[in-house]
Structure 1
Amino acid sequence: MDFYGYVTFGIAVAGFTMSLGTWLRSLWRSREKFAVSAIDYGEHLNTMQLLISITNFSDNVLVITSISCRGRTCELEPKLIRGDPKSPKAETPRFPVTIPAQNSENLYLEFVNLRHIGLTAGEALTLEVQTIRKQVRKTVLLGNKLHYLNTRVQSQTYRQSQKA
């Protein structure tokens, strides 16, 4: 091989290496990567209510088909969150939930027919998130109650703001 043959071969190898690197990088960035955090939580009779935030870190759309906790799947059809009947109404989401790439969404979840709920600040709660690709376990740490869910405090604040 002459000098130009070696140069051509070197350029071909460099081009192949860059193409392979680009392909691996796109594969890595498109993997399913998301985080779940608890904003608020509550209990109503034998029902556990959660307000969670899901952040999608991948370059693809994240599609969640269901979320389970303590062996129960959350309500999959939209319905009003239980609580003070006079409070402003928030609905649970319709599944599947689609979260755009590099975006975040807040979801009200309701898990019915649970025994011994007993949620407390500082408790670690494990959620099983089923996406269209796989099932992932995410642990969220419960903080202090913020009263975003339909509580008497929230409805009183809402009614006072409507009077002003």
Structure 2
Amino acid sequence: MSFLFLYFFYSVSGHFLRALTPVLTVCLPWQVDCGFGSPRCISKKKLNDGKIDCYSGLDEGCPSHFFVCKDKSTCIEPELFQDGKRHCADGSDEPCPPGQFPCSDGSKCIPHAKFQNGVEDCSDGSDEGQQFVYSKSCVLLCRSSVRSR
């Protein structure tokens, strides 16, 4: 469940005060709640129609740890991200050439040899951070817990 905050302004003795009032966000009966992101509510007709409409991919049954292609055409298993083969029509699952690691901010790719070598090569430091897991042929972003290499 989520809340929208409406701002109410009213005048008291010439001064404006702001009050935050939480209001429950409810989708219309013919809509489904995407959970977060934009759009928030989509038509039930868009469920399992082969195109991702919710930011999370929820409408197409994408598990939360899957990678959603930038063009929202599909979602893929995490181990298919940066595995050397295009699985997304737009190629967003292969942001770097083979043998390179994508910085999490998308700014550049660095050679795998520079991944967790003690020197921050990515401007955001993601090549040295604990948020990534190195797997046989790919580097995956973890959402919650950090697994060991």
Please indicate, yes or no, whether the TM-score normalized by the shorter chain is above 0.5.
no
Higher fraction of helix: 1
- Name the one with the larger strand percent: 1
TM-score, normalised to structure 2, is 0.23
Instruction: Please tell me whether Structure 1 or Structure 2 has the larger radius of gyration of its CA atoms.
Output: 1
Name which structure has the greater RCO, CA cutoff 8 Å, separation 6+: 1
